[in-house]
Amino acid sequence: MIPHQLGGGQRVQTEYLFHCIARTVYERDFLLDIITLQKEKVFTTFDMDQIDSNNDYSLDYRGTPVSGAKRYPEFLSSYPGPRIYIADTSLDSVYSISPRLHVGTVKVKTDSLIFGV
């Protein structure tokens, strides 16, 4: 459970679907387990608005890394964003398209507090 202050921000609840596609059932199930076991974890994001205003992208218009490109830890320290709490994860669907193509979907529900709204 996340403690919340009264006022001063907006609580945002979002649901995401993670589609895992693999060549074998074992690989698909391994990916599904990694995502499903993230329940009740917290991770920090970076502020895309600040990155945009400073034009500090890691990729150019062709998708090629730029010189001196930052990685995730550097973006977190330079442009800290909100923390996101993974409230719940659940397996949504698991199926095989062919003997060499296996798909699974995980539904992830998140909570975050956005300040300055």
pLDDT in tens, the chain (117 residues): 666 666 667 888 999 999 999 999 999 999 999 999 999 999 888 888 999 999 898 998 898 989 888 988 999 999 998 889 999 999 999 999 999 999 999 999 999 877 766
* pTM exceeding 0.85: no
What integer pLDDT is reported at residue 116 of this predicted model? 65
Q: How far apart are CA 61 and CA 89, in angstroms?
A: 34
Q: How far apart are CA 13 and CA 55, in angstroms?
A: 29
Cβ atoms of residues 83 and 66 within 8 Å: no
β-pair partners for 53? none
What integer pLDDT is reported at residue 10 of this predicted model? 80
What integer pLDDT is reported at residue 4 of this predicted model? 62
What integer pLDDT is reported at residue 50 of this predicted model? 92
What integer pLDDT is reported at residue 81 of this predicted model? 87
| Burial profile 34-61: b = 16 or more Cβ within 10 angstroms, e = fewer | ebbeeeeeeeeebeeeebeeeebeeeee
